[in-house]
A and B are shown apart, each in its own frame.
Chain A
Amino acid sequence: MLMERVDPRTRIAAAVVFSGVIAAAQQPATAGIALLAAAAATPCTRLTSRQVLKRLLPVNVFALLLIVALSWADHVSPIAARHPEASDHTGLGLALMITAKANAIVLWVVVFLGTMDLITLGHALRHLHVPDKLTHLLLFTVRYLDVLHGEYLRLRTSMKLRGFQPRLSTHTYRTLGYLVGMLLVRSLDRSERILAAMKCRGFRGRFYLLDHFTFSRRDLGFLLVACAVLCLLAIGEAS
């Protein structure tokens, strides 16, 4: 599909810009346009509408709580009076605005990044000069989550085989504490072995990337469309 062929770096940049702009929007019209445009853009990815809705579910559960809580307030004053007009918001209006903005942001992020695998994401972040420590944290997590999970399952099985059943008791809490502690110790051990293995292959504190992304004409087209949507949002904000 279309979105998967766009340079990952461009997609990340677009996701960041869109999220920022939508979060800062003050007008209901902007939030509405952002939401509609995002919905219109979902066919550009290879996600089915069911998958998209599933990803929107957690946001809306949270938003529902917000709506319920804020409908009791008929007048919401901002903490700082920098935006006097904001004090006009009724609680329900504000909650609906937040819901629309949150849905729009999540939907845009899903459109831009929803089909990007974590490994590509990590690499693209490194190309965007996100600090090495953060991207390595992401990439190492992706790589070792599975190994850690395997270790957790092995420990958990061996506990079960010796008759452990979680109950509301100090014994249960202590045992679970041991389990977590043991996982931490094992991870530390493993991290030391990994570092040793890396040193054996000439690692001296610097990572080098093998792959390079290329910026193509298609990306330019993508940027033009993205700018057009941003203009629409600006019009909504000015209305």
Chain B
Amino acid sequence: MSDGTRRRLGRYDAKEVGLATLFLAPSLAVFVVFFYIPFFRLLQWGTYKSVRGGESYKQVGLDQYREVLGGDEFRQGLIHSVQYVLLTVPAGLVLGTLLAVAAHRRLKGIKVYQAIFSSTLASSVAVSSVIFFFLFNPAIGTFQVNWRSDPDMALFAAALPFIWQNLGLAFVIVLAGLQAVPDEVLEAATLDGYGPWRRLTRITLPLISPVLMFLLVILVIVAFQAFPQIEIITNGGPAGASETLVFKIFRQSQDYGKGAVLSVGLFFATMVITFLQFVILDRRVHYGDE
């Protein structure tokens, strides 16, 4: 905050402060009740250790945090989560962008294609996962492959419905970005001798980089938290080969304390990765007002 802003804030009178508080109160109440209180309760839960399979709990302070976050289970879950992100996000980003570029033109009936491409966004996660489950069924599927029981392919099989489903999201967001690129700038590039590929890579993509950055962050967070696809396609198997961090948390239904610690671990992992994306990529993003 600059000095100027601070001085201005000091000048608000009691009536203005009261009014501002009144306007902020509803959203603040929602945040406190549904986010801050549950989050602090979660942190607290992590300090209780389950005794005899959840019969009772005893307070162990930060010991359980040290134990769980330093243990193999957390590490393995984190590795699987990162693998899942790497399998889904780049593919979704690239395919979504290509589809949006292909559908961003003035053609008769293009709206129909745009509606089709974005429709995956409106389908249910469970339904799309079940469709993929049957597509890859070794006995009755269209592609009779046994990826679900192959430890090297299980996570990939669970990644496919995610990619398919979020293609619609990526498409809609990138298309909105493309529509904001002024025609005149692209025409100027055409006159400057830029061919279609050069226009895309030198002009269009840099101009929509804030949108791509937003999409990347969102997709990474959503992929980190993906659950139904894994649950339906592989159920974490075979032998835990596709158990991501979220799936490991789900497994702790008998041990709330450990589940809470893993959840806190997931929260901070997501935060660190998002922060890193901003630090590494933000310099390459062009925002209009720079």
Q: Do A and B come from one complex?
A: no
Residues on A facing B (Cβ under 8 Å) = none
Point out residues on B near A: beta carbons under 8 Å.
none
